[in-house]
């Protein structure tokens, strides 16, 4: 595997997203709540005349709620099944090359991380958890699957 990976931080953990699935990295300053949405859906936002469903990655993983006290939120914009999503992250670091194929996890990381894990992938920055974007968007809420 010699794919590009976007290194982000979620809940203090450095992880990798497949860069081919990330359209852009943005700062969101407006977030509109959506009544009755799944708990991990933080709301809606607009980017270049299109609506984004904003996913709170911390909630999706069962790690609490993202800190948005300053009103500015960093997000990775992805498209899945024709819908655009903004994945709220703590921070965005860099784009790096994967130097190998994902390997199985070597230990327990918690149910949220294990649910979204595609395995550990080696990079020049060390081994990183490769995150399944679709699983992160789906969240752990059973109402979202219904």
Closest by Cα among 18, 14, 72 to 45: 72
Q: Is 9 helix (H, G, I), strand (E, B) or coil?
A: strand
Tokens encoding 128: 């990183």
Going along the chain from its start, the domains and CATH numbers come out as 4-145 (2.40.50.180)
Backbone φ and ψ for 127, nearest 5 degrees, come out as: -80, 135
146 vs 75: CA distance, rounded Å: 26
pLDDT given at position 36? 94
- What's the length of the chain? 146
**What is residue 58's predicted lDDT score, i.e. its pLDDT?**
94
If the chain, 146 residues long, is cut into consecutive pieces of 10 residues, what is the mean pLDDT of each piece? 87 95 93 93 91 95 77 91 95 94 85 94 93 95 46
Give the pLDDT score at 65. Answer: 82
């Amino acid at each position: 595997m010699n794919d590009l990976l976007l290194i982000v931080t979620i809940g203090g953990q450095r992880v990798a997203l497949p860069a081919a699935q990330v359209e852009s990295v943005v700062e969101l300053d407006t977030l509109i709540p959506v009544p009755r949405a799944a708990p991990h859906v933080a709301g809606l936002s607009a980017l270049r005349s299109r609506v984004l469903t904003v996913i709170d990655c911390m909630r999706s993983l069962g790690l609490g709620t993202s800190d948005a006290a300053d009103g500015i939120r960093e997000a990775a914009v992805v498209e899945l099944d024709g819908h655009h999503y903004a994945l709220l992250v703590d921070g965005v670091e860099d784009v790096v090359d994967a130097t190998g194929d994902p390997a199985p996890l070597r230990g327990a990381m918690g149910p949220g991380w294990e649910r979204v894990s595609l395995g550990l992938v080696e990079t020049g920055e060390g081994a990183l958890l490769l995150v399944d974007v679709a699983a992160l968007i789906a969240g752990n809420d059973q109402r979202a699957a219904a």
